[in-house]
Amino acid sequence: MLRARFLIPAVVFAALVALLAIGLTLDPREVPSPLINKPAPAFNLPQLDRPENTISQKDMLGKVWMLNVWASWCVSCREEHATVLALARTGVLPVIGLNYKDERADGLAWLARLGNPYQTSAFDHDGRVGIDYGVYGVPETYIIDKAGVIRYKRIGAVTPEVVRDKILPLVKELNGNA
Amino acid sequence: MAPELGNFALILALCIALVQSSLPLIGAARGDAAWIALARRAAQAEFLFIALAFGCLTYAFVTNDFSVKYVAEHSNTQLPLAYRVAAVWGGHEGSLLLWTLMLGLWMFAVTIFSRSLPRAMVARVLSVMGMIAVGFLLFMLLTSNPFDRLLPAAANGRDLNPLLQDPGMVFHPPMLYMGYVGFSVAFAFSMAALIDGRLDATWARWSRPWTTVAWSVLTLGIALGSGWSYYVLGWGGWWFWDPVENASFMPWLIGTALVHSLAVTEKRGAFRSWTVFLAILAFSLSLLGTFLVRSGVLTSVHAFATDPKRGIFILAFLTVVVGSSFTLFAWRTSKVGLGGRFALVSRESMLLTNNALLLVAAGAVLLGTLYPLALDALGLGKLSVGPPYFEAVFVPLMAPALFLMGVGPIARWKQASLPELTVRLRWALAASFAAAIIVPLAMGRWSAMIGFGIFLAIWIIAASLVSFRTQLAGAVTGRIGARLAQLPGSYYGMLLAHIGVAVFIVGVTLVKGYEAETDVRMDVGDTAHLHGYTFRFAGINHVDGPNYTADRGTIEVTRGTEPVVTLHPEKRLFTVQNMPMTEAAIDAGFTRHLYVALGDALSPTSWVVRIYHKPFVGWIWGGCLLMGIGGLVAAFDRRYRVRARSYSAQAAVAAGLSPSPAN
Amino acid sequence: MRKLLALLLGLILAGSALAKEAAPAVPDPALEKRAVKLEEQLRCLVCQNQTIADSHAELAMDLKKEIREKLKAGMNEDQITEFLVARYGDFVLYNPPVKATTVALWFGPFALLLGVLAGLFFYLRRRRAAAAPPLSDADQARVQSLLDASEERQ
């Protein structure tokens, strides 16, 4: 009886070690989005290439689509660009870009040089729309369903694995397994 | 050549540590005098080799040897010499070497200052410390070797982070690590006692000075860190409850509990298992801190660059050390009987309450620090726990302990009388209430929180004075000088440390309650006013430092017509990393700090200037200094240094050369 | 020469006449104070554990701007906090909200305190109740001889 009480510290410590071991596999700096399964925040921005036209999330209602947040100054965006281009070319879903805190000329030059996967890009010069979407580090990517609800957010570069394991199955499901 | 030598020295140190952690332990169990004697020699040799390795790394930094990867990452030819030496511990690998050096230093100290202790006990203590050394040396050699080469060598290094290019970097980490590692001595003493099976008041007397010195040094180390961030971060904050800061605060809280618990064990033979538990816990928290800072599980500005392999190693090491010590504790402690009896109201019970409160406070800090991780691990989302939480929880927990600080020294051992205590302390209580009302009003604004802080501080001081007067009156004979000299060093140490706490509380309460700030746009010649002082922006000029360029402002401070000081805040740009830094200018007065920092330049002659008036902020670190000095005074009490000759001879014969009692 | 001196003196005097009481760095100090107070409770998402108030990161600067605009527009601190939490989650708050998942956090320490104090109380009571083992005759004799010896010394 006496001995059992003295084992409490060891037991508590064991639980702590288990917690820390799990902690080693987590990323303390990743901030999950509270917008999952909530309606995509409204925006109405000029288009990057045709500033006299605007693009709004309402325009994409009825379709499953991808919103990809990018910028010409963002190094990781360059890394994921090939994957995004490949995905766009398959035509599985339309890809809309959100050009975040960029200069129009720089953004257009970047697309011209590296390829343009986007149906169009919304030009978010001051980053307001980014804040509404909870963007904190480009690149970030959202999958939005036909009703305009955000279903998935990818923080960081989109990799072929992410496309294969997360995005494509989700898009299939949202399209009604069509 | 030097890096290879250093690497080799580490390998040799590891081999010696392996010997040191095994043979003396076996020798103590078997009564083998030769193997027991090995402990001292091995520890000393180990220290020498670790010091040699450290020397080699320092040499590499001083001579700008950029073929060593670690040097290339943390130094630069333009870095001033003092900072090139400080850069030795500026990164993960080097700071580990510093940790190990401190361990070697403490081991060496144990070999020197333990002549009056039974040899078998010293052998066990050194063995346990050797085991810890094995862990850290292996960690360095396997995953974090500071001597790894970078080939081809870099032409120049990446420079030390400008935030670290400061005198604070020279003193804070060594002091801090000395404190962290110092708890390993108390830990080793506890382990030795558990292994031996002999846990008595004498053991407490032996380990107490070591623990107190470690505690003092940790206090000073934390205070240095806090003071450093105060003047370098440019906004006058001094504690952020950052995970790494908490990692140093938790061992300090438990260390405080331990120092008090050891007092009871030494004087009354009570709390023995509890003291051992606290000693294990204090060092475990030190090791946990090492894990948290280097594994990447928590985000912090203080965290080192991380690598999952390192995290796994430290966790494994932590599990082995702490797991085995708590298991040993559970196994051996049930055999330890109860010590002296004491009443529900007595000094013992008050110290036990103090311990309980400190334990809960440390638990609260641990909870707050690890909660985000726990929630994330359980998949329940991500949240942040910051200063608002810690302050809300910590202050109410500590307040009763602070109140008890006044009562404890006056209460009798074994049985105290509540009515008697009330009578003895009634004037102290009255003075505290009076001060709680008068001081805030005198400062300009009364508030309950400020009043409460002042109440606690004055209570501690007044009660300490009552205790002092009582002690002085109770001293046997003679004039005041003789009676003062008769009081033991540990008593003066306690008084000083307790008063230090009171001074600290005054500083925190008054600066939080009454600090004033003004952010102004100043053209050359403009003046700003704050709290009766006039600040005139006399000019700005460009200066070049050894590895930075800076804009240096001149602010003339006057009070009425009296000139007070001229301050030179700077905005520096460190050229290698292209990093800007604000260097605040502080006029550190006894009753207030005037703190001036440059904001952004609006034009070549027009700047944003932030001016702060911080009353009594210096008392925060003054209080910590008093605490640290108090601890050292207590540790050097004569009774720890004068050895009873008859005892030591007896002990040497009985314990050193014959088998220890089978227990 | 004298004319030159007079000119210099005039310029210096004129210069000091231009020197004025410094204007506050921001147009609305009261609003600024509210904004800073709020920013000190919010976490910078791209930094290594810093408040938005202390951070110079671009996102932090953007959010600071948002906060000031919203305060000016008449939103109060709670509404602005809600705005940010809706977009970034509870992670952005340094003062964790009290909800189902944080009950252990907020009430844990006090629960622990009560538990420890209760344990302490019962332990002390039990200890007091346990009778002290009586001294054996041999020990009793030793005690007596020690006391006698010390009396002799005095």
Summarised one tens digit per residue, pLDDT across range B1-50 is 899 999 999 999 999 999 999 999 999 999 999 999 999 999 999 999 99
Distance of alpha carbon B112 from alpha carbon B43, whole angstroms: 11
Q: Which domains does chain A have, with CATH numbers?
A: 33-177 (3.40.30.10)
Closest partner CB to C87 (pick from A126, A134, A137): A134
Fill in the amino acid letter for B94.
Answer: G
Q: Which amino acid is at B430?
A: A
The answer to whether residue C16 is domain-embedded is no
Quote the pLDDT of residue B73. 93
- Which residues on neighbouring strands pair with residue C42, listed in sequence order? C93
Nearest to C88 among A126, A128, A136 (CB): A136
Hey, of A136, A140, A153, A155, which one would you mutate to test binding to chain C, going by the most C CBs within 10 A of its CB? A136
* Interchain CB distance below 8 Å, C104 and B371: yes
Pick from B298, B372, B381: which is nearest to A32 by CB?
Answer: B381
SS3 (DSSP) at B572: strand
Residue that wins the pLDDT comparison between A73 and C126: A73
Distance set, CA B116 to CA B108, B207, B279, B478 (Å)? 15, 12, 22, 32
**Element spanning A129, H or E:** helix A128-132
What one-character DSSP code corresponds to residue B654? I
**CB contact, 8 Å: C93 with chain A?**
no
Contact with chain B for residue A105, Cβ under 8 A: no
Residue B540 confidence (pLDDT) above 60: yes
Residues of C in contact with A136 (CB under 8 A): 45-46, 59, 88
Using CB atoms, list chains with 3+ pairs below 8 Å to chain C.
Answer: A, B
- Domain membership flag for residue C65: yes
Asked whether residue C87 falls in the same domain as residue C70, the answer is yes
**Which residues does chain B have within 8 Å of residue C48's beta carbon, measured at their own beta carbons?**
299-301, 303
- Is A35's CB within 8 Å of C66's CB? no
Nearest to B315 among A17, A26, A30 (CB): A17
Contact A34 C89 (CB under 8 A): yes
Segment A42-85, tens digit of pLDDT: 999 999 988 899 999 999 999 999 999 999 999 999 999 999 99
Asked if residue C92 and residue C45 are part of one domain, the reply reads yes
Interface contact B319, partner A, CB < 8 A: yes
In-domain check, residue C114: yes
> If DSSP codes are grouped into helix, strand and coil, which group holds residue B251?
helix
Q: What is the pLDDT of residues C30-73, one digit of tens each?
A: 899 999 999 999 999 999 889 999 888 899 999 999 999 999 99
Closest CA to B193 of B321, B336, B323: B336
> Are residues B421 and B411 in contact, defined by beta-carbon separation less than 8 angstroms?
yes
* Residue B116 confidence class, pLDDT cut points 50, 70, 90: confident
Pick the residue from chain B with its C-alpha nearest to C92. B384
CB hemisphere CA count around B198 (13 angstroms): 14
| C110 and C45 belong to one structural domain | no
Contact A24 B381 (CB under 8 A): no
Q: Residues in chain A, how many?
A: 178
Residues ≥6 apart with Cβ < 8 Å to B253: B358, B359, B361, B362, B365
H and E: helices and strands count for chain A:
7, 7
pLDDT band at B646 (very low <50, low <70, confident <90, very high): very low
Contact B120, B28 (CB under 8 A): yes
- Cis peptide leading into residue B563 (ω within 30°): no
Per the model's pLDDT, the better-predicted residue between B307 and B23 turns out to be B23
CB pairs under 8 A between A and C: 36
Q: Do A34 and C86 touch (CB under 8 A)?
A: yes
Q: Are residues C37 and C61 in the same domain?
A: yes
Measure A22 CA to nearest chain B CA, in Å: 6
Tokens 């690890």 -> residue: B370
Each residue's pLDDT tens digit, B393-442: 999 999 999 999 999 999 999 889 999 999 999 999 999 999 999 999 99
Does B365 lie at the interface with C, CB-CB under 8 angstroms? no
User: What is the pLDDT confidence band of residue C85, given thresholds at 50, 70 and 90?
Assistant: very high
% of chain B beyond a pLDDT of 90: 73
How many CB pairs below 8 A link A and B? 70
Nearest CA in chain A to B367: A16
Determine, yes or no, domain membership for C15.
no
Beta bridge partners of B166: none
The domain in which residue C67 lies consists of 22-96
> For every residue of A18-55, which 3-state class applies, written as one string?
HHHHHHCCCCCCCCCCCCCCCECCCCEEEECCCCCCEE
Q: How large is the ipTM?
A: 0.91
Residue B92 token pair: 């993960």
CB contact (8 A) between residue B323 and residue A31: no
Q: How much is the pLDDT for B276?
A: 93
Q: How confident is the model at residue C12 (pLDDT cuts 50, 70, 90)?
A: low
Cα B172 off chain centre by: 9
Sign of CA dihedral B274, B279, B283, B285: positive
Q: Residues 6 or more apart from A63 whose CB is under 8 A from it?
A: A93, A94, A146
* Number of domains, chain C: 2
Domain-embedded: residue C80: yes
Residue B260 contacts by C-beta under 8 Å, 6 or more apart in sequence?
A: B351, B354, B355
Does the beta-carbon distance from B383 to C96 stay under 8 Å? yes
Q: Which two tokens stand for residue A33?
A: 């989005």
Among the residue ranges A6-10, B9-13, B249-253, B333-337, the one predicted with the least confidence is B333-337
- Of B458, B509, B505, the residue nearest B624 (C-alpha): B505
DSSP string, B79-98: S-HHHHHHGGGSSHHHHHHH
Of C71, C96, C121, the residue at which a domain comes to its end is C96
In a domain, C106, yes or no: yes
pLDDT of residue C133: 65
CA neighbours closer than 13 Å in the CB half-sphere of residue B405: 30
Structural tokens at position C152: 């002799």
Do residues C59 and C84 share a domain? yes
Residues C30 and C85 in one domain: yes
State whether C51 and C64 are in the same domain: yes
Q: Are residues C90 and C125 in the same domain?
A: no
Verify that C87 and C102 share a domain, yes or no: no
Mean pLDDT of chain B: 91
> Is the same domain home to C84 and C102?
no
Q: Does A52 touch chain C (CB under 8 A)?
A: no
Whether C45 and C109 share a structural domain: no
Considering the domain architecture, whether residues C74 and C109 belong to the same structural domain is answered as no
* Pairwise CA distance, residues B97 & B102, whole Å: 9
Report yes or no on C64 lying in a domain.
yes
In a domain, C122, yes or no: yes
Q: And the tokens for A59?
A: 């325009």
Encode B356-412 in three state secondary structure: HHHHHHHHHHHHHHHHHHHHHHCCCCCCCCCHHHHHHHHHHHHHHHHHHHHHCCCCC
pLDDT in tens, B506-522: 999 999 999 999 999 99
Half-sphere exposure of B380 (CA within 13 A, CB side): 14
